[in-house]
Amino acid sequence: MTKRDKTWFFLLLPAIAYFVIFFAYPIYNLFYNSLTTQSGSITSQNFAYMLRDPYLPTVLWVTLLYVIGAVGLEMLAGISLAIIAQNLASKVRGALQIIAILPLMVPPVIVGLMFLLLYDTNYGPIDFFLRSLGLPAVNWLGSTNLALFSVILADVWRYSPFVFLIIFAALQSVPSHLYEAAMLEGPSRWQMFRHVTLPMIRPALVVALLLDTIGVLKGFDLIYVLEGGGPGLATTVLSYYIYIWGFVYNNAHVAAALSILFLAIVLLIVGLTIKFTKIEEYLGLRRK
Amino acid sequence: MKASKAIVIMISIAFFIYFLFPIYWTFITSIKQSVDIFSYPPIFFPSKPTFQNYYAPSQEFGAVSLTALNSIPYMISSFAVGLITTIAGTFLIGAPAAYSIVRFAKGGKIFSRMILFMIMVPAAAFIIPFFQIVIHLHLIDTWWGLSLSYLSFTVPFATWMMMGYFYDIPVEVEEAALVDGVSRMRAFYDVAMKMVVPGLTATSILGFITCWNEFLYALILTFSPYNFSFPPVGSQTVPVFISSFVVIEKSFAWGGLAAAGLFTALPSIILGVYAQKYLARGLTLGAVKG
């Protein structure tokens, strides 16, 4: 590897071209759109409009609820399932791992279709069970209070396997001699988990939390199919709101301002994760 | 001890049902006759299954219903776009960049942060620029236009995946080749790339599945089905097809829709199960090794 070897540059060239076309230019385009009017003159109106938009606080609130609800439940379900799976016979464990992959692979639009069938108030199986238990049937998709929760439940079906697979792989990779050494101290189950398992799976937890948070934040498909953002604004998350401004109201300028806000939020989340964890090492983007 | 074992068994059965029931319900909806779909109480084990919804359209409520066969033009588009994007993203851009970053230690912090951020960019935030770019290039409603937008997520993903695989192969083999007088470029293509074939396979499969399942870019950048002509015209993908029928056929032609949904999800599912052993690694690169 001599200093004069320029191969690295040629290998990187397509990626540099890619970066300019697919990243730098779109960001420039967003700033350009958000800072101009239809006729092309410079303006700060779009941002001003966005900040005065009476719906934006609701949209951000719905987005926050969606992320907290979905990520919270997915982490809870994924981690519990991973811990339970550890205690299962290896055949059952293998089967569970394959089955857990199915929801992840089904296109989200089709997950939406599946849950439309399940949530159906007249002929769906969920309300049938509720009725046979003597409970009232629930209008899963049509009620303003429940709509977001119904989307979250579908998202949990789809995405908790993702958390499960990450945490489960991490649990499997904890060397058994650590447990054996710790056993000598006679710890309780909780102490064992807290002082041996938890530090070992911390990187996996950070990765799962970050990827799940961003994954939920990106979410659009399920909401489009199940709810179309409604009823009212009940399921209008930021992704969906950008779509509405851009392609229902056909206003690329305000949509671009919202996109910049969205990118800033993502940048903040990623930045905080970089600052407080070694996320790049955990993801294998850098080596120690 | 026995009680706790029973609890573990019950919990695992609950999880199996939880993961499988939505798929099972969609499947039995697809093989039910229309009367049985709209029956109360709902039928959990159809006694007269039929596969008509997969191939034979019927007259329902004054409209010709959908069958799984209707999805074929959309599947061709999905397949073409997935293939173009995966090949370009993994082999032409991602893998060479990953090799360059790993072997020459270029860019350091800046590159890894840029890749991380690019992986995280939501499609919704880039849909306005990509719509304008694709319109400007006159590539709207073509495989090429959609593939362009799909590169925005396949390239950072492929670079990230391939970096992990290149870090893992010993540098000595390439060095030996270099000592033998092979050029750096040859050492990359003939030596290093051959050692990361499993990584290339896993990256391609996962990239392809992501393209197959993608919805937002396809919704905006395509508007007609592939018409079997060459050069190809029309590029709507499977998720756009299914979503449009969900909106139109809501609450009447469930059977055909369920059949089409399952049929079009199959390629993803089959590839996913096939790549199962790579998948955990792909999802967790580094996180597990710490």
How far from each other are the two terminal CA atoms of chain A, in whole angstroms? Answer: 21
| A186 CB neighbour count, 10 Å cutoff | 7
d(CA A135, CA A133): 5
Residue B267 has pLDDT above 80, yes or no: yes
Q: Do B265 and A240 touch (CB under 8 A)?
A: no
Instruction: Please identify among residues 202-241 of chain A the ones whose CB lies closer than 8 Å to any CB of chain B.
Output: 203-204, 206-208, 211, 214, 217-218, 220-221, 224-225, 228, 238-240
Q: At what angle do helices B143-168 and A7-19 cross, to 10 degrees?
A: 140
d(CA B88, CA A247): 29
Token couple for A123: 């002929």
Helices (H), B196-252: 197-213, 216-221, 238-249
Q: Do B262 and A110 touch (CB under 8 A)?
A: yes
Residue A248 in contact with partner chain B when CB distance is under 8 A: no
Phi-psi region of A88 (alpha: psi -120 to 50; beta: other; left: phi over 0): beta
d(CA B7, CA B222): 50
Written as one letter, the residue type at B135 is I
B233 CB contacts (<8 Å, ≥6 apart)?
B141, B142, B224, B226, B227
Q: Do A102 and B272 touch (CB under 8 A)?
A: yes
d(CA B244, CA A1): 55
d(CA A125, CA A114): 12
Q: Do B284 and A207 touch (CB under 8 A)?
A: yes
Among B50-54, B56-60, B262-266, which is the least confidently predicted range? Answer: B56-60
Mean pLDDT confidence for A80-99: 85
**What ipTM did this prediction achieve?**
0.91
Nearest residue in B to A207, CA atom: B287
Residue B196 has pLDDT above 80, yes or no: yes
d(CA A14, CA A76): 41
Could you read off the pLDDT of A146-156 as tens digits, one per residue? 999 999 999 99
Q: Do A168 and B163 touch (CB under 8 A)?
A: no
- The whole model's pTM is what? 0.91
Smallest Cβ distance to B238: which of A96, A107, A173? Answer: A107
> Residue B83, CB half-sphere, CA atoms under 13 Å: how many?
8
Token couple for A81: 């399932």
Mean pLDDT confidence for B49-74: 79
Residue A173 has pLDDT above 90, yes or no: no
Q: What share of chain A in percent tops pLDDT 70?
A: 98
Mean pLDDT confidence for A217-227: 93
Residue A107 in contact with partner chain B when CB distance is under 8 A: yes
Q: Do A173 and B288 touch (CB under 8 A)?
A: yes
Residue B140 has pLDDT above 50, yes or no: yes
Residue A138 has pLDDT above 90, yes or no: no
Stretch (H or E) spanning B60? strand B59-60
Specify whether the CB–CB gap between A249 and A194 falls below 8 A: no
pLDDT at A147: 93
In whole angstroms, what separates CA B287 from the centre of its chain?
23
Long-range Cβ contact pairs of B165-171 (< 8 A, separation 24 or more):
B165/B98, B165/B196, B165/B198, B165/B199, B165/B200, B165/B203, B166/B98, B166/B99, B166/B102, B166/B103, B166/B192, B166/B196, B166/B199, B167/A284, B167/A287, B167/B102, B169/B195, B169/B196, B171/B103
pLDDT at A288: 61
Residue B282 has pLDDT above 90, yes or no: no
